[in-house]
Chain A
Amino acid sequence: TQLLEQSPQFLSIQEGENLTVYCNSSSVFSSLQWYRQEPGEGPVLLVTVVTGGEVKKLKRLTFQFGDARKDSSLHITAAQPGDTGLYLCAGENNNNDMRFGAGTRLTVKP
């Protein structure tokens, strides 16, 4: 089973600040996903990155897939309180075996 490590585990920042969250593995993934989970709800997919070196933007969120397809980052610009939540990266080992990283719990204070 390929493992995904996320850092930092916890992040508390003020509204308007920028932040970056990292997802790393020693293994190569064909794709990586980023999910966001709010309390009492299931995770919701934000993005899938597939190609090494790929950069995807979703409004204030920028996702990057490492050239070697072993790592990914999520950068949030001008964070807002509504960005508060648990950010999870996930990867598929094979045949629908989807595993999650430990997650980054983000708190954005007004």
Chain B
Amino acid sequence: DTEVTQTPKHLVMGMTNKKSLKCEQHMGHRAMYWYKQKAKKPPELMFVYSYEKLSINESVPSRFSPECPNSSLLNLHLHALQPEDSALYLCASSQVPTITGELFFGEGSRLTVL
């Protein structure tokens, strides 16, 4: 079982909806990540939080808004999304620095935007 828990597992939303994806880890990791993965493509980095501060933002549209309320939780707030935003959204965590380079991934939240 993964030690990074993501909810919901599946989400269907309209373009005018506001929803959030949630991620939780209790491994004491101080870096948390959001990746977006389209079908048959590799994960693409969106955001990195290090010690609860946003350290990397890969020019992601503002309709995606990350939040890191504490060292165990990471949210991704979604608003006014487009159908092309449909994808698997993966959360990961790691030590800071990564030391071995290992990221621990959740199972992902599969988002469909209608």
Contact = CB atoms under 8 A, between A and B. Distances in A.
Interface in A29-79: 31-33, 40-45, 48
B106 A31 contact: no
Interface string B31-46: 1010000001111110
A45 B95 CA distance: 14
A42 B2 contact: yes
A98 interface: yes
Contacts of B96: 96
A91 B100 CA distance: 10
B71 interface: no
B105 A42 contact: yes
A96 B98 contact: yes
A29 B33 CA distance: 20
Contacts of A42: 2, 4, 90, 92, 105-108
A96 B45 CA distance: 11
Interface residues of B, number: 30
Contacts of A85: none
A33 B56 contact: no
Interface residues of A, number: 25
Contact of A43 (B43, B101, B110): B43
Nearest to A88: B42
22 contacts: A33-B100, A33-B101, A33-B102, A33-B103, A40-B110, A41-B107, A42-B4, A45-B102, A48-B100, A88-B42, A90-B101, A92-B98, A96-B55, A96-B94, A96-B97, A96-B98, A97-B45, A98-B45, A98-B94, A98-B98, A101-B42, A102-B41
Interface of A: 31-33, 40-45, 48, 86, 88, 90-92, 95-103, 105
Interface of B: 2, 4, 31, 33, 40-45, 48, 50, 55-56, 90, 92, 94, 96-98, 100-108, 110
